[in-house]
Chains A and B, each alone.
Chain A
């Protein structure tokens, strides 16, 4: 069964460093999403992406964040200068069509900022 994959599973970085989290959505899906879950808190929406541009973003998704689909399979989230409070589990999701369709989630990348 097709699934969303994410790499790495765990990323440790120093405060101020740039990180890139990678996702491979399900192949026939057209809409892509990033969510994050700070330890002990709820899963929060960051951004949605369609047709090579951002569809929607939350107030969390500030200028430190960017997303890109560099090729036909990968979908990345970049954090330019990480802060301690960026430590969280980051989930990628994809769906066939727009937000009315079911979103399928990857296993997540745990980001630890020291």
Chain B
């Protein structure tokens, strides 16, 4: 499918907030997802948002959705070294998930 766009790399200091951005392609996507991939591991579902919502908060995670601009963001508050991983944005297509290339988050002490 068409490309879901993400910045490839983000570096933050421990304790700061991280914001990972994503631009998706299909304005009719009903669900948008954030997955986390730690080194050597699989894809862990972090959170998702339904398209009729603007914001969803889940503990340290906040998802913001701008449907007009097809822009999705994931904010991680009080980022920890254990949050270092690759974060994938994905949109629901009629039959599968369409992923971005992932944003590699590095958290430095």
**Does A pair with B?**
yes
Question: A residues within 8 A CB of B98?
Answer: 45
When the two chains form their complex, are residues A99 and B92 in contact, meaning their CB atoms are under 8 A apart? Answer: yes
A102 at the B interface (CB under 8 A): yes
The 0/1 profile, CB within 8 Å of B marked 1, for residues 25-63 of chain A is 000000001010000011111001000000110100000
Chain A: which residue is nearest B88 at the CB level?
A: A43
**A48–B31 CB distance below 8 A:** no
Q: How many A-B residue pairs have CB under 8 A?
A: 59
Number of residues on chain B facing chain A (CB within 8 A): 25
Interface SS of chain A: strand
Cross-chain contact A91 with B43 (CB below 8 angstroms):
yes
Per the bound structure, the CA–CA distance linking A102 and B50 in Å amounts to 11
Beyond A42-B101, A58-B96, 20 additional pairs, beta carbon < 8 A: A4-B42, A35-B97, A41-B101, A42-B4, A42-B100, A43-B43, A43-B97, A44-B99, A45-B97, A56-B95, A91-B42, A91-B43, A93-B43, A102-B33, A103-B45, A105-B35, A105-B44, A105-B45, A106-B42, A108-B42
Q: Which chain B residues have a beta carbon within 8 Å of chain A's beta carbons?
A: 3-4, 30-31, 33, 35, 41-45, 48, 88, 90, 92-102
